[in-house]
Structure 1
């Protein structure tokens, strides 16, 4: 994945991906431009999925104790423990 994509925030990557999708749906791009846009869009999608997975793992690591306080659960433990 290109460095310029890995440095994007989730929101910026998603915004760019949405622009690419709109451009491809418009059907006005030359073939080579459409292929390049599709390739970048695939890389952006992969980046967004990775960012979402990271966020999900962080959220799942937060557990509530019986007294109502929050604690961090080790990432290697099952969430249902």
Structure 2
């Protein structure tokens, strides 16, 4: 059994496979084997990303002993905050009759 690839190595190999398949792999059997390898690499990358996501935590304070308090990272929390922080789109001001426009 081969050792599990690091994320970057798996992604690089996946990009090479996609390039080969997009370029028109000459033999069907080779193309299918590369496709299967690509599916394995996608699963590997997703597992690594899921693991990284579970290890990310937000510092939420410090306890009485000075130890950091953390909470799991919630990607939806920042998305909601970003939407709330962005200003509402401004509607253009409709000029009034004789609003500095000579007739």
If the TM-score is normalised by the length of the shorter chain, which range does it land in?
0.7 to 0.9
1:42 to 22, 39, 49: 39
Say if 2:39 is the partner of 1:26. no
Q: Distance in 1 between matches of 2:29 and 2:61?
A: 58
Q: Which structure's residues are more often helix, by fraction?
A: 1
CA-atom RMSD in angstroms:
2.5
Question: How far does residue 70 in structure 1 lie from its aligned partner after superposition?
Answer: 4.8
Q: Distance in 2 between matches of 1:57 and 1:45?
A: 18
Alignment length, in residue pairs?
A: 71
Give the structure 1 partner of residue 92 of structure 2: none
Say if 2:58 is the partner of 1:63. yes
What runs of 5+ residues in structure 2 fail to find an aligned partner?
Answer: 78-103
Rg (Cα) greater in structure: 2
TM-score between both structures, scaled by the size of structure 2: 0.58
Higher RCO structure, 1 or 2 (CA under 8 Å, sep 6+) = 1
TM-score between both structures, scaled by the size of structure 1: 0.72
Q: Distance in 2 between matches of 1:71 and 1:43?
A: 37
